[in-house]
Amino acid sequence: MPRTSHETNHLRKIIEAFPRVTVAVLGDMVADEFVFGEISRVSREAPVLILRHRERTIVPGGGANAVNNLADLGVNVLPVGIVGTDEPGRMLLRAFRHKRIPVSGILKDKDHATTSKTRILAGMPHTWRQQVVRIDREPESELSVHMARELALATREYLRASDALLVSDYGYGAANPRILAAAMSRRSGSIPVVLDSRHRMLEFSGVTAATPNEPEVEEALGIKIGQDWNALSGAGAEIVSRMKLQSLLITRGRDGMVAFSEKHKPVDIPIFGGDEVTDVTGAGDTVIATYTAALATGAGAEDAAHLANYAGGIVVMKRGTATVSRDELLHAIEQAPPATRSH
């Protein structure tokens, strides 16, 4: 059911508070590379297309995309991560500096290959480009004990100046449970600690919120949810209980999101905008960035979920790894009031 303009005004005030908060990010910094080519002909060597190279771009991905989204929302952001001394690493740092994002928390290691994901896109002139293959380059070795300690120390230092901590764990080592535990040891005070973890959500302790998608919930609990509302509600409640969370946001693609908290019933939020999605690349980073920014202002879990839903609906209509600006978010809440579905 749609909500009142009073609630729209309330969401606007949360968005307007974003520039007054600071969020630290402990994350796996990924370089998203896009190589665009026009279809030239079929190769004589093999039944494959030959592409005439037209364009190449590298943008922040993974945890770096969460950083980028926070910056475009107007939040003061303090990233912690690791890159190599290679071209993708240099490009990530350049992108951060361009937006005046501090890079002192980004460690540089000549023995570490910057995680990069190269997407090859093909198309004819004046047509949409279609992804045909993706090539991932990942670190081949574990982080050294020294680097893990440095990441924990940098995170701990930033926590003193932050209103929230965002943890973006893509499984590449910089945001693992041990580093987070070390960073949070001897921490005084309490701020939101929001987690997005691909494959080991239940291994983390000390977090206050998480933003998994439905397949990640199914993998963590070894269940199948499908369209069963009771199964989804039970799964969310189990994760909140096992991880001792204050809130949980489960994203469900075109089915929207469901927000859980300790004291309230789950809130089912339909997707904002149409369900004809253009590109889901990096949408989870946008969702956690917006959700964390809202919690950092002191907003409740349901309000934070509504804003994350607006942001997710906007970003999936953009091509490639993209962000949502504060102005776009403000415009979205004026277009349509926040809505929920009853069960």
* 70-103 pLDDT, tens digit each: 999 999 999 999 999 999 999 999 999 999 999 9
Q: What is the pLDDT of residue 88?
A: 94
**Catalytic option among 196, 285, 303, 327:** 285
| 126, part of any domain | no
| 38, part of any domain | no
| 65, part of any domain | yes
| 194, part of any domain | yes
pLDDT in tens, 168-192: 999 999 999 999 999 998 665 689 9
Active site residue 285: yes
| 124, part of any domain | no
Is pLDDT of 260 > 90? yes
Express as a percent the part of the chain with pLDDT over 70. 95
| 47, part of any domain | no
Backbone CA torsion sign across 268, 272, 274, 275? negative
Pairwise CA distance, residues 140 & 188, whole Å: 36
| 43, part of any domain | no
The answer to whether 8 and 338 are in contact (CB under 8 A) is: yes
Number of domains making up the chain: 1
What CATH number has the domain bearing residue 94? 3.40.1190.20
pTM > 0.85: yes
* Structural domain boundaries enclosing 148: 5-30+61-114+139-335
Q: Are strands 29-42 and 49-62 parallel, antiparallel or unpaired?
A: antiparallel
Is pLDDT of 236 > 80? yes
Residue 62 CB-density burial (10 A; 0-12 exposed, 13-18 middle, 19+ buried)? buried
Q: What is the pLDDT of residue 141?
A: 80
Q: Which of 46-55, 145-154, 190-199, 285-294 has the lowest mean pLDDT?
A: 46-55
Pairwise CA distance, residues 294 & 21, whole Å: 9
Q: What is the pLDDT of residue 253?
A: 87
pLDDT in tens, 183-224: 998 665 689 999 999 999 999 999 999 999 999 999 999 999
Q: What is the pLDDT of residue 139?
A: 85
Express as a percent the part of the chain with pLDDT over 90. 72
Give the model's confidence band at 229: pLDDT under 50 very low, under 70 low, under 90 confident, else very high.
Answer: very high
The answer to whether 88 and 58 are in contact (CB under 8 A) is: yes
Pairwise CA distance, residues 326 & 343, whole Å: 32
| 55, part of any domain | no
Give the model's confidence band at 274: pLDDT under 50 very low, under 70 low, under 90 confident, else very high.
Answer: low
pLDDT in tens, 121-159: 998 877 778 888 999 998 888 889 999 999 999 999 999
Residue 226 CA to its chain's centroid (Å): 23
